[in-house]
Amino acid sequence: MKNLFMCACLLIGTQAFASNNGKAVAPDHGAAVSARATALTRTMAQTVQLDEGQYLKIKQLNTRMLTAVDDLKARFSADPELLDQHMAEAQFRYEMELTALLRPRQIAVYHAARENMTALSITR
């Protein structure tokens, strides 16, 4: 799911950048991040079977992560190596916080889904 999440973040970030045509971030950027976080959380909820409390906490976590990813891209766009390093650190923090919110069975499902998505992306 780590790779799935990073792919989703990169895809969503790329789409947001492309739709923005490289212009300054729009004032409704918070709404766009919220919509992306909601979509990501819904996908996770279907896969991992989140309860309502987990859904709300993970949505907040996803919102923070997507905001951090956007911030890192803006701050380190000139240095891809430094961007990769900071993105890896942010991903690690996300995974740790997510693991703390999920039950053991949900973690197993999450990891299985991540591995399946990784295998699908390699075979294509």
Q: What is each CA distance from 45 to 41, 71, 102, in whole angstroms?
A: 6, 26, 11
56: its two tokens: 């709300």
pTM: 0.72
Structure tokens at 85: 């390093």
Per-residue pLDDT reduced to its tens digit, 58-70: 999 999 999 999 9
What is the average pLDDT across 112-123? 68
CA angle 55, 53, 34 (to 5 degrees): 40
Where residue 13 falls among pLDDT bands split at 50, 70, 90? Answer: low
At residue 98, does pLDDT exceed 80?
Answer: yes
